[in-house]
């Protein structure tokens, strides 16, 4: 078996079907298997897979166990030389999976290979990024990378200046399409399940690189990524969770001092925004629903940090 394709699903029935059809129609010249891990969906996803994709191995969780834990369940039964973590909100283009396997076969030093990711309108999606750091957190909080996307300093964390049009070594491969070598998994272990959602691929790539492996990006293969479908109903809450996951990463790998500074930066980021959105909530009736969501998300983020719920990572 060349590759085991693992797709974690949570209430994305229609786009999951489109993703699976693109995998079966667009994957040629390699032996592959597909494993769908459903995290307690209630939208008919499980029934759709059972009725339309008989060859798929389906793991049915009764609850949402998180992205890392679900992928680990898939890896436990995977038979491929490679494992591909593929989001349900993706469309595989032009034999992208086989092309990525071929690339990985010619780069045995790579534990992880990422491909070029496109938005639905075929513009380039800025996937892949640097490891978290205090500097990167500070620059990210200022949003200067949005004002000066081609500046290599302001855009350093997300590499906003890079067109994703070549082959290069990177820090973190985005989890929507992440091909991982079986040998490397045996070397460093599976994903850390203490990262429930976001941060798990960052932690995994960091562990691979610390162990001497490389994480590579190649533009020879492409997919479409719709982006954040499971979290799209409340993007601010998603943003808050991303920052809390970054704190977990810093606590795990960088020590208590930098972790404490990082907590201060994140709390400051939230506190600056709370009064702004409170004023909007008071004055603009049409934006009250959006403002309320943002206020709840930012306030919850501050509470989790100050009450040491994030600091309990061990």
Statement to judge: residues 214 and 262 lie in one domain: no
Q: Are 9 and 41 in contact (CB under 8 A)?
A: yes
In a domain, 109, yes or no: yes
pLDDT score recorded for residue 144: 85
Statement to judge: residues 16 and 116 lie in one domain: yes
Distance CA 210, CA 173 (A): 15
Statement to judge: residues 291 and 210 lie in one domain: no
Stretch 258-286: mean pLDDT? 91
Statement to judge: residues 24 and 76 lie in one domain: yes
Q: Between the CA of residue 296 and those of 141, 142, 207, 266, what are the distances in Å?
A: 19, 21, 34, 16
In a domain, 313, yes or no: no
Answer with the one of 175, 193, 225 that is the final residue of a domain: 225
What percent of the chain has a predicted confidence (pLDDT) above 70?
96
Q: Are 134 and 255 in contact (CB under 8 A)?
A: no
Answer with the one of 225, 251, 273 that is the final residue of a domain: 225
Question: Does 6 score more than 80 pLDDT?
Answer: yes
pLDDT score recorded for residue 309: 44
> In whole numbers, what is the pLDDT of the chain averaged over residues?
92
pLDDT score recorded for residue 253: 96
pLDDT score recorded for residue 238: 80
pLDDT score recorded for residue 230: 46
Which tokens in the block code for residue 141? 């909080």
* pLDDT tens column, 215-239: 999 999 999 999 754 445 567 778 8
In a domain, 230, yes or no: no
Domain limits at 244? Answer: 235-306
Statement to judge: residues 184 and 67 lie in one domain: yes
Q: Between the CA of residue 288 and those of 225, 238, 266, what are the distances in Å?
A: 30, 19, 24
**Number of domains into which the chain is organized:** 2
In a domain, 257, yes or no: yes
Strand locations in 161-290 (E): 168-169, 177-181, 214-225
Instruction: Kindly report which listed range (149-158, 172-181, 215-224, 228-237) carries the lowest average pLDDT score.
Output: 228-237
Statement to judge: residues 77 and 112 lie in one domain: yes
Statement to judge: residues 175 and 282 lie in one domain: no
pLDDT score recorded for residue 140: 82
In a domain, 146, yes or no: no
In a domain, 79, yes or no: yes
pLDDT score recorded for residue 113: 98
């Amino acid at each position: 078996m060349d590759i085991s394709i693992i797709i974690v699903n949570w209430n994305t029935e229609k786009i999951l079907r489109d993703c699976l059809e693109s995998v079966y129609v667009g994957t040629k010249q390699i032996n592959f298997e597909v494993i769908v891990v459903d995290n307690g969906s209630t939208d008919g996803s499980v029934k759709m897979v059972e009725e339309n994709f008989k060859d798929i191995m389906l793991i049915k969780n009764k609850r949402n166990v998180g992205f890392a834990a679900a992928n680990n369940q898939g890896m436990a039964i995977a038979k491929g030389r490679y494992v591909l973590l593929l989001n349900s909100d993706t469309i595989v283009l032009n034999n992208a999976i086989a092309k990525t396997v071929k690339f990985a076969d010619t780069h045995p030093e790579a534990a992880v290979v990422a491909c070029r990711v496109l938005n639905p309108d075929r513009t380039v999606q800025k996937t892949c990024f640097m490891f978290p750091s205090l500097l990167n957190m500070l620059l990210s909080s200022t949003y200067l990378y949005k004002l000066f996307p081609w500046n290599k300093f302001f855009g350093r964390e997300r590499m906003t200046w890079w067109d994703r049009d070549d082959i290069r070594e990177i820090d973190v491969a985005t989890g929507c399409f992440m091909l991982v070598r079986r040998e490397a998994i045996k070397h460093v272990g599976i994903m850390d399940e203490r990262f429930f959602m976001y941060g798990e691929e960052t932690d995994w790539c960091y562990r691979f690189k610390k162990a001497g492996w490389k994480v590579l990006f190649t533009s020879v293969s492409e997919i479409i990524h719709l982006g954040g479908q499971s979290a799209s109903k409340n993007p601010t809450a998603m943003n808050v969770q991303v920052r809390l996951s970054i704190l977990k990463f810093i606590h795990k790998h960088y020590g208590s001092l930098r972790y404490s500074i990082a907590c201060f930066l994140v709390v400051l980021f939230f506190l600056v925004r709370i009064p702004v959105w409170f004023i909007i909530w008071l004055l603009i009736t049409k934006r009250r629903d959006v403002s309320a969501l943002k206020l709840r998300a930012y306030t919850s983020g501050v509470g989790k940090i100050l009450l040491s719920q994030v600091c309990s990572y061990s």
